[in-house]
Amino acid sequence: MTTTEDRPAPAPAPGGTRGPAALLPRTRARGVVRANRVVLALLGLLLAAAGAAALAVVLGLFGPGLPDRPVLDAPVGRFVDASPWFWPVVGVAGALLALLCLWWLLVQARSDRVARLPLSRDPRRGDTELDAAALTGAVEDEVEGYRGVTRARAGLSGAGTAPLLTLTVTLDGRVDAGALHTRVVDGAIAHARQALGRPDLPARVELVLPRRARRDVR
């Protein structure tokens, strides 16, 4: 037996309802994501165009006799033999391809992670900086101490002068996620703001409930 019931969506909560209802997953390198998308789309376009052109030759759209001629025809060979610049140009194209691919490979490691935060700058006494790991480690320790949390990972991204605190909290499913959200904001994030002297430090918190939630007793 199977029964199906539909429950209408409840009315939205009164506070904090402005803004989008859903966001794209967070990334540490928005530029890299965009670059990958553009390069792969261009590559797809190139492959599709090559395939379509080859099929057009097969269908005789470029001439009735062409489908029966070899893919690497004699005129092509004669053109290559008669053009002394051909192979050097191929070599340069190969070098350009290698350089572009090297750049593409290297940008995959790019991230907007902030490693140090400037706390004060004084020309006479010197600059004071805070190691970001000290702050994020403290935030992780505090959140991992909350009941219902199995793991917390914090990071600072953006610019050193305008950082964004990112926090991924893995839940065990025992505690109401809404209540935990309030506790994280009022506790760990408030403490991080206090430590940095930035009461308006923006934060993005990601709550995660894994498929097989660990149920450690705290």
Q: By three-state DSSP, how is residue 62 classified?
A: coil
Among 78, 83, 101, 141, binds another protein (CB under 8 A): 101
> Which two three-digit tokens encode residue 39?
């390069």
Binding mask 47-86 toward another protein (x if CB under 8 A, else -) reads: xxxxxx-xx-xx-------xxxxxxx----x---------
Distance from C-alpha of 38 to C-alpha of 123, rounded to nearest angstrom: 45
Least separation, in Å, of the C-beta of 115 and another protein? 22
The enclosing H or E element of 76 equals helix 74-82
Stretch that binds another protein, among 88-96, 113-121, 125-133, 149-157 (CB under 8 A): 88-96
Task: Kindly state whether residue 45 participates in binding another protein, applying the rule CB under 8 A.
Answer: yes
Least separation, in Å, of the C-beta of 123 and another protein? 31
Nearer residue to another protein within complex by CB, 77 or 145: 77
Q: Which amino acid is at 144?
A: E
Task: Kindly state whether residue 217 participates in binding another protein, applying the rule CB under 8 A.
Answer: no
Report the site for another protein in 150-169 (rule: CB under 8 A).
none
Among 28, 31, 79, 93, binds another protein (CB under 8 A): 93
Task: Kindly state whether residue 9 participates in binding another protein, applying the rule CB under 8 A.
Answer: yes
In terms of C-beta density within 10 A (0-12 exposed, 13-18 middle, 19 or more buried), how is residue 99 classed?
Answer: exposed
> Which two three-digit tokens encode residue 158?
């953006």
How do 149-159 and 203-208 pair as beta strands?
Answer: unpaired
Least separation, in Å, of the C-beta of 124 and another protein? 34
Report the site for another protein in 109-148 (rule: CB under 8 A).
none
132 HSE (CA, 13 A, CB side):
20
Report the site for another protein in 181-200 (rule: CB under 8 A).
181-182, 184-185, 189, 200
Least separation, in Å, of the C-beta of 88 and another protein? 7
The single-letter DSSP state of residue 148 is T
- Other C-beta atoms closer than 10 Å to the C-beta of 171 total 20
